[in-house]
Amino acid sequence: MSHEGIRFLTEEEQKRQDREDRRAAGLTKQALTPAKVKVHKTEGTGMEIEWEDGHRSHWSFAWLRSACPCATCVEERQLEGREAGVPKSKPKQLLQMYEPPARPASAHPVGRYAIQFNWMDGHSSGIYSWDFLRRHCQCEDCRLGRSVPN
């Protein structure tokens, strides 16, 4: 297996790259740092985050499962031309099969930068970084801001 072209960043280089990425996106460190995270597993309603900058975000479990950031799911979405959070199209069948709603069996923090869900369907490789979640905030203001061309 060849590793040509792969470059591993030092911790300092990664921190510098992260700062540049935040600056380019106009997001401050406070905007990417959760003050409070609530996963409503029992209610089945999703997850909400109150960010240090005062913004509040909410995602349904269906959206989160369809937006899985693991390499396999990202590649599948790209091949199908789907955006993060857009569910797979269902095949046309005479009798539609019941599919239980997306729900996590568990959720746990990953370091200080992300959360990981172990989904009831057995999938668990997606790590949802705070950066990914904030950039995909589902509130009306954020969705409208993303749809406005620069």
What's the confidence (pLDDT) of residue 148?
60
Residue 79 lies in domain: 32-87+101-147
> What's residue 1's pLDDT?
44
pTM assigned to the model: 0.78
pLDDT by 10s per residue, the chain, length 150: 445 556 666 777 666 666 555 554 678 999 999 999 999 999 999 999 999 999 999 999 999 999 999 999 999 999 999 999 999 887 777 777 778 899 999 999 999 999 999 999 999 999 999 999 999 999 998 888 877 654
Q: How many angstroms separate the Cα of 86 from the Cα of each of 3, 77, 118, 141?
A: 34, 9, 19, 19
Is the residue at 76 inside a domain?
yes
**Is 79 a domain residue?**
yes
In a domain, 11, yes or no: no
Q: Is residue 24 part of a domain?
A: no
CATH of the domain at 52: 3.30.2020.30
Is residue 93 in some structural domain?
Answer: no
Task: Please report whether residue 7 resides in a domain.
Answer: no
Q: Identify the pLDDT of residue 19.
A: 58
Asked if residue 62 belongs to a domain, the reply is yes
Instruction: State the total domains in the chain.
Output: 1
The answer to whether position 67 is within a domain reads yes
